[in-house]
Structure 1
Amino acid sequence: MNNRLTTFTNDGLTFDVIDDGPSDGVPIVLLHGFPQTSRQWSRLTPYLHERGYRTIAPDQRGYSPGARPRGRFAYRMSALVGDTAALIETLGGEPVHLVGHDWGSAVAWSTAAAHPGLVRTLTSVSVPHPMAFVRSCISSTQLLRTFYMVLFQVPWLPEALIARGFRAADAAGSPQWRRARELSRLDDEQFGRVRRDIVDGGALHYALNWYRAMPLVEPRRAVRAIGVPTTHVWGSRDVFMARKGAELTAEYVTGPFRGETLDAAHWIPEERPAELATIIAARVNGID
């Protein structure tokens, strides 16, 4: 595992990878969320590298230019999990420490359930266990917080509206720019990166297919309780994820579990990178 990984393949698709840190360090795989790429981890990874860890962050399906199949069926959860499993196999097939944020967290949960032999530990950030999320939708404000997921099912209109909002950055200070920034809860650097990587980079339509594949239920792939050591991290100022999901998550982990709450919004890897790195390192080192 000393060779640097720049790409890997699965299902005839080619995925870009950022492989950094000590080449002989313990590998930590980082799965990004929407609407971001592997570069969302750029504020976090230096803190992991200084602890001696190697980080492997892929641009996931729809985000990598070489991995943009057409049609929402190609973005069902089993396909996303298959990509992560293929990445770990490419690294040598030994179990890795898996970290996910937002949609990356959902993929991480499902990977740990479907392929427990490939995951040594799991750290989920912002998005709770899938069943905890479902339960929180009927017992808290979660459904209202994520109503945008329903709107994203409409063809093409979300692409047009999101692109318009991010491109309003050309007129910084304009009402459209302020509104787009307010809705996204991103800082200026993040906002610009999303525009370059997702909107201008052509990934937006494919990234939205992750949401459009949600109704394609795969009954046999319901996420079971997780047996690997797990930490779930939630931000107390997260406007997208309710506290209830974080509270319920412990019920779906049979292995060692720790819940962490940070004074942060949804974008924890960028807002609280040092604190998150400490939490990840604690999980990797088996500190419960």
Structure 2
Amino acid sequence: MTGRHARDEPERLTLRLPRVTLEALAWGPADGRLVVALHGFPDTAHTWRHLGPFLARRGFRVVAPHTRGYAPSAVPDDGCFHVAALMADAAAIPEAVDWTGSDPVLVGHDWGAITAHALGAHPDSPYERVVAMAVPPLATMDSRSPRLLARQARHSWYIGWHQLPLLPERFLDREVAKLWRDWSPGYDAGTDLPHVLAALDEPANRAAAVGYYRAIRAPWRVPSSYAGWKRTWDGTPTVPTLYLHGADDGCLEPGFADGLVAKLPAGSRVERVVDAGHFLQVEQPDVVNGLVAQFLETPFHGT
């Protein structure tokens, strides 16, 4: 294979982090500016198949792990799927790939966005900029209008469903297909669903993916090793942030992006992507890629 398509094929990396081993896809030169990209639910690292090669052609080094519990990454021995654990994993990746440069960037979608916001709020985060998609900072969502919150409650049925024992795992294949249909109306997920179902093929992987949601109900069960990260798990970034939201998102109401830029630090941007639902990075890759590249390549002089 030669030319552009050869360059678009990802490398496979093994990231040996302090508490879990993750498998990752990577694009771009090893000495390029580091971009770590985190997927959400129900998705995999393959969600970055457009952004990764695009940034690689601009000289960036993009590393996209399958997050803890999603095959081929390991299910962690500690069984923790709280945001604090996701933060710890993401924070350890620059060292795991021997990154010694400046201005690394964390990109996240869905649960990856929650993780990115949380790390963007933490003083010990190695990341100097954040790009988040489809989920705004959690702390900014509780002050919205009752009407918006009521509409969102109808979308969020799956969170309660995931609190039930056994049944979510048993019917996860059906749920995954339904969520992609509902969350990104009109999008053909034929390329994406096989990756997701392969990542969640084993019972332990299914329990892990559902476990991200079950961790919400018992935040006190976070192991002490993650306690230092937990304090900003629902925080709002203090570093420059690009936030993107699909105008047709069927998972999270686009109205949550309204007025958000005023709550973010200097140098931040908020953009609504038209003709895109929840999985905007694969629905409108040219638009998303361009917005991300522009944000990353714009110098920011903080105070």
Given the two structures, how large is their TM-score scaled by the length of structure 1?
Answer: 0.84
Identify the residue that residue 31 of structure 2 maps to in structure 1: 24
Letter of the 1:112 counterpart = G
Change (3 A) 1:117 1:205: closer
Partner of residue 169, structure 1: none
Shift of 1:200: 5.7
Choose the corresponding residue for 1:279, options 275, 283, 291. Answer: 291
> Quick one: which of 48, 52, 75 aligns to 2:55?
48
What is the distance in 1 between the residues matched to 2:49 and 2:203?
A: 18
Match of 2:223 in 1: none
Q: Which residue of 2 aligns with 1:204?
A: 206
TM-superposed CA distance for 1:158, in Å, is 0.9
Aligned to 2:277, which of 255, 265, 280?
Answer: 265
Q: How does 1:122-201 map to 2 (within 5 A)?
A: 122-136=130-144, 138-140=146-148, 141-164=151-174, 182-183=181-182, 185=184, 187-199=189-201
Higher mean displacement: 9-18 or 36-45: 9-18
After TM superposition, the structure 1 = structure 2 runs for residues 235-274 of structure 1, keeping only pairs within 5 Å, are: 235-263=246-274, 264-274=276-286
* Aligned residue type for 1:31: L
Q: Residues 216 and 59 of structure 1: is their aligned pair in 2 closer, same or farther, counting only changes over 3 Å?
A: same
Cα distance between partner residues in 2 of 1:105 and 1:245: 14
1:52-103, Cα deviation, whole Å (9 max, x unpaired): 211111111111445313676x111111100011112323365411110111
SS state at 1:118 partner: coil
Query: Amino acid of the residue matched to residue 190 of structure 1?
Result: D
How far 1:117 sits from its partner (Å)?
4.8
Question: Structure 2 counterpart of 1:86, which letter?
Answer: A
SS in 2 for 1:214: helix
| CA 129–269 in structure 1, closer or farther in 2 if over 3 Å, else same | same
CA contact 1:135–1:245 (8 Å) conserved in 2? no
**Residues 1:145 and 1:248: Cα distance change in structure 2 (over 3 Å):** farther
1:173-222 Cα deviation digits (max 9, x unpaired): xxxx8x67634645211122222222369622211100110123368435
CA contact (8 A) 2:117 2:235 kept: no
The gaps in structure 2 that reach 5 residues or longer are 1-10, 221-229
Task: Select the residue among 210, 213, 232 that pairs with 1:221.
Answer: 232
Which residue of 13, 17, 37 corresponds with 2:20?
13
CA distance 1:38–1:152, change in 2 (3 Å): same
Residues 1:85 and 2:81 aligned together:
no
Q: Distance in 1 between matches of 2:45 and 2:114?
A: 16
User: Unaligned stretches of 5+ in structure 1?
Assistant: 167-176
Aligned equivalents of 1:112, 1:181: Cα separation in 2: 28
Output the CA distance in 1 between the equivalents of 2:70 and 2:288.
Answer: 24
Further displaced range: 84-93 or 265-274? 84-93
- Decide whether the 8 Å contact of 1:47 with 1:273 is kept in 2: no
Q: CA deviation at 1:235?
A: 0.5
